[in-house]
Amino acid sequence: LAVGDTVILCLGHLGQPGGTTDSWQVSVDGDPCDLDLTNSFSDYVAEIWSYRVPFALSGINIQVDYSTSINTPYSASVLIAKVTGLNQTFYLDKINSAAGGPSGTQDSGLTGVTTNGAEFVQGMIVTNGVTADTIGTWQASLTAGQNGGSSSALRPLVVKEGFRITTVTGTQRAQVT
């Protein structure tokens, strides 16, 4: 990894049925990651974490720690992506939107308006309780990224990511049909 690369982690975790949910701690080589978005619905949590690489690394160790969690996780899934070429001097907008609930169309809702024209947009959809979940089709000009999750027949958890580079300011959304 080069200086200025960004590691993005899309983390979905599911608590025990009827339990509560809370955030975990995520780090890269012992350095804490930034929690950019968190959304909980019922007994699951969706989070996007990021880490700006401060110096060249030949490899990294990512730690997802739930030891201080008030609820032992039932299942979890994480997708990891490396993004290069982002602005090197400061983070751009971290505007988010999150929604939860049963729906055939998975939709984050609209974010606030971005302040810069050329920005990297990361979208994430987490589903649970669907044993035959499909990737679906990303909308709003997002490119399909990774798709992964738990295969538990009792409480499956699937995390999907989509992304794009914007060219003008505006609202964003993560939507899969």
Q: Check: CB of residue 106 under 8 Å from CB of residue 143.
A: no
The mean pLDDT of the chain is 79
The pLDDT, as a whole number, for residue 170 is 87
Rounded CA-CA distance 135/101 in Å is 18
The predicted model gives 84-94 an average pLDDT of: 67
Residue 41 pLDDT exceeds 80: no
Q: Which whole number is the average pLDDT over 99-104?
A: 67
pTM of structure: 0.81
Percent of the residues in the chain that have a pLDDT greater than 70, as a whole number:
77
CA distances from 126 to 103, 105, 143, 162 (A): 12, 12, 16, 12
Please give the full DSSP string across 49-61, using - where no structure is assigned: EEEE--S--S---
Output the pLDDT for position 105.
76
Tokens of 13: 């975790």
User: Measured in Å, how far apart are the chain's first and last C-alpha atoms?
Assistant: 34
In the block, tokens 């609820």 appear at 71
- Please give the pLDDT value at position 125: 83
Residue with tokens 């997802």: 64
Residue 19 has pLDDT above 60, yes or no: no
Exposed/middle/buried for residue 146 (C-beta within 10 Å: 0-12, 13-18, 19+): middle
**Predicted confidence band of residue 33 (pLDDT cuts 50, 70, 90):** very high
The pLDDT assigned to 119 comes to: 82
Give the pLDDT confidence of 141-167 residue by residue, as tens digits.
Answer: 888 888 887 666 666 778 888 898 888
Q: How far is CA 120 from CA 13, 95, 116, 164, 172, in A?
A: 25, 11, 10, 6, 11
Task: Compute CA 53 distance to the chain's CA centroid, rounded to the nearest angstrom.
Answer: 18
pLDDT at position 47: 85
Report, as an integer, the average pLDDT of 100-114.
77
Q: pLDDT digits over 114-135, tens only? A: 887 778 888 888 877 665 556 6
